[in-house]
Structure 1
Amino acid sequence: MESAHRFVTIDGGRMHVAEQGEGPPVIFCHGFPHTWYIWNRQLGAVAAAGYRAIAPDLRGYGRTRVREEPDSHTNRAVVGDLLALLDDIGAERAVFVGLDFGAALVWELALRAPERVSGVIVLNNPFAPRPPRPPSQLWAKAAARHFLHLDYFQKPGVADVELGASPREFLARVYFSLSADYHYLDTWRHPAEGTGYLDVLPEAPPLPWRWLSREDLDTLAQDFESTGFTGGLAWYRALDRNWELTADYADAHVTVPAYFLYGDRDTDMEGFSGHDPLGTLRAHVPDLRAVTEIADAGHLIQLERTEEVNALIVDHLRDLAARAR
């Protein structure tokens, strides 16, 4: 089944979406450096199960275009886009699936507009409460000891130029480094001073890999060759602003039904989600219905373990529907 493509009017621009199937909506939210296509293998499986599967290019990515404003890449702004998408398809609510930045986005959506969320299915990035101080302060402290992409990306124009000069090479190297075939935290062995991201990332083996084809990478690279990475990097540069805008949710719990799956070799679970990510998740998401560890999988778990992830997503959707009845 081929995806249909169209545009949805959002505040300050228009959002490109790919979709398949008919039925209750399931909306997939990507991260960095991805586009809608990172969910391409999930759309058909979810559509075949009787759902309307929708994957947008989020702000800053692919064919989505928005007017540049101070808060145009905050989670609050993108939550507005997702609500506009629900209104566009005439849906009161949907199930939202998220990975990476898309995971943080759907967690925040569940806080800001729980009445529009039937449930969330999150990959690799567990819910965590708002930190006591702006995130960039924590990153700067860590970057005094070793290279940290979160800190490096804060410098406007620096990573933009470096990564934009070789989009395909960067994508191959970062995707490989985040997979189960490499230990991403080895990038921390490099000093921060005078180091670029490509200096710390490993060389990627020739394609195809066991989980990514040359055609997949070509499709993903094509968009970034057109747009560059500045739009995606703007999400990193908005994280302190997200922190400011979520003051009212500092002690909030996610109350919608939630399902969580993660790779046993995911770098976010190992190095970026605190000392006890699953304990924190359970403490703040009272309707957490399932937690599944997937063996031999890294960050792009839906590509590395496509059939297993598709089966879990469909099972979780059916569980949601059965309990709702």
Structure 2
Amino acid sequence: MELTHRFVATNGIRMHVAEQGDGSPVIFCHGFPHTWFIWHRQLAAVAGAGYRAIAPDLRGYGRTEAPAEQEAYTNQAVIGDLLGLLDDIGAEQAVFVGLDFGAALVWELALRAPERVRGIIVLNNPFAPRPPRAPSQLWAKAAQRHFLHLDYFQKPGPADAELGADPRAFLARVYFSLSADYHYLDTWRFPPEGTGYLDVLPEAPPLPWNWLSDDELDVLAGDFEQTGFTGGLNWYRALDRNWELTADFADATVTPPTYFLYGDRDPDMEGFSGRDPLATLRANVPNLRRVTKIDGAGHLVQLERSTEVNDLITAHLRELVPVPVAESTIRS
């Protein structure tokens, strides 16, 4: 079950994927600012449970191509990449796992191509219906009162340069701020005028932390030192276009079987997902099989509570795609 790397030609781009194990495919979708490596602990666990674990660098990240135009970073475009990946491995369906932007991607994939989705497992970012107005309008209004990264990232240039000046230092600060060890919404205390993202993020304590090592951060930072952050930031700049492209799904519900898990200190659940995100989730995902709260975890729950998350993911996979007894016996 060696971890391997390869490139896939899909939907007009060259996509890098990391793979481990054999069996039914499970595709992991990362967010910002991440790469495939954010899932490396889960790949080993899922492969060990009898599945083919696949983690791509999504377009704009890592060793996958980064188109120049912002239009290229819509969910619709990236869904095309994932469907091409399914075709490449000869699979009609896969289980998709998503976090952050990867969660939004998986939710939309389940709306656009439910026939290709065996099931979904989402971490921290619950499904929410299409808002009545373009997202940037909502963020601009909030940004009149306090700094908001969602608004700050909309304009090309300033954030790209700021974050790219020292990728490793930025990653340490943003990962720490999103964890259970800090309260991310404290970044809202800062005024919007003349404020950059690094101005609002706390200084990170020296590594290693109890959930992230120096070597792991080096791997993540190494990719961004090569690419910068513009590819990832373009996902933010495409969110209004996503809104336009999902008009036909305004009243749609997510039909594939779904599992949701979240950290009890996740900032998206607290401040970015509405007043009652779990009620909204249950109302719009009729085949929601289980919701699990993980105590003492923040946004990067799969790193902060790896063992618990791995156990949950593998248990959910066994319900979705049972591993043959003979195969599971051999692996154990």
Indicate the TM-score class for this superposition, using the shorter chain for normalisation. Answer: over 0.9
- In structure 1, what is the equivalent of residue 191 of structure 2? 191
Distance across 2 between alignment mates of 1:67 and 1:207: 34
Q: Does 1:310 align with 2:310?
A: yes
Question: What aligned pairs does 1:7-156 form with structure 2 within 5 A after superposition?
Answer: 7-156=7-156
Deviations 1:305-324 (A, max 9, x none): 0000000000000111259x
Identity %: 80
Q: Does 1:275 align with 2:275?
A: yes
Structure 2 residue runs of 5 or longer lacking an equivalent are 324-332
1:10 CA displacement: 1.6
TM value normalised by structure 1 = 0.98
Distance across 2 between alignment mates of 1:274 and 1:58: 27
Distance across 1 between alignment mates of 2:179 and 2:69: 34
Distance across 2 between alignment mates of 1:298 and 1:174: 12
SS at match of 1:109: helix
Distance across 2 between alignment mates of 1:2 and 1:48: 11
Structure 1 residue runs of 5 or longer lacking an equivalent are none
Deviations 1:124-173 (A, max 9, x none): 00000000000000000000000000000001111000000010100000
Distance across 2 between alignment mates of 1:304 and 1:78: 27
Distance across 1 between alignment mates of 2:146 and 2:162: 19
SS at match of 1:72: helix
Q: How much is the aligned-residue C-alpha RMSD, in angstroms?
A: 1.0
Q: Does 1:207 align with 2:237?
A: no
Distance across 1 between alignment mates of 2:129 and 2:321: 28
Distance across 1 between alignment mates of 2:176 and 2:212: 10
TM value normalised by structure 2 = 0.96
User: After the TM superposition, which segments of 4 or more aligned residues of structure 1 sit over 6 Å from their partners?
Assistant: none
1:67–1:231: structure 2 CA closer, same or farther, 3 Å change rule?
Answer: closer
Distance across 1 between alignment mates of 2:54 and 2:322: 22
Distance across 2 between alignment mates of 1:36 and 1:321: 23
The AA in structure 2 aligned to 1:173 is R
SS at match of 1:251: coil
Deviations 1:62-113 (A, max 9, x none): 0001443452100000000000000000000000000000000000000000
SS at match of 1:47: helix
1:13 CA displacement: 1.7
Distance across 1 between alignment mates of 2:71 and 2:2: 35
- In structure 2, what is the equivalent of residue 222 of structure 1? 222
Distance across 2 between alignment mates of 1:311 and 1:174: 26
Question: What aligned pairs does 1:284-323 form with structure 2 within 5 A after superposition?
Answer: 284-322=284-322
The question of whether the paired residues in 2 share the 8 Å contact of 1:12 and 1:67 is answered with no
Distance across 2 between alignment mates of 1:136 and 1:150: 8
Distance across 1 between alignment mates of 2:66 and 2:214: 30
The question of whether the paired residues in 2 share the 8 Å contact of 1:12 and 1:66 is answered with no
Distance across 2 between alignment mates of 1:4 and 1:132: 44
SS at match of 1:161: helix
- In structure 2, what is the equivalent of residue 251 of structure 1? 251
SS at match of 1:65: coil
Distance across 1 between alignment mates of 2:173 and 2:4: 30
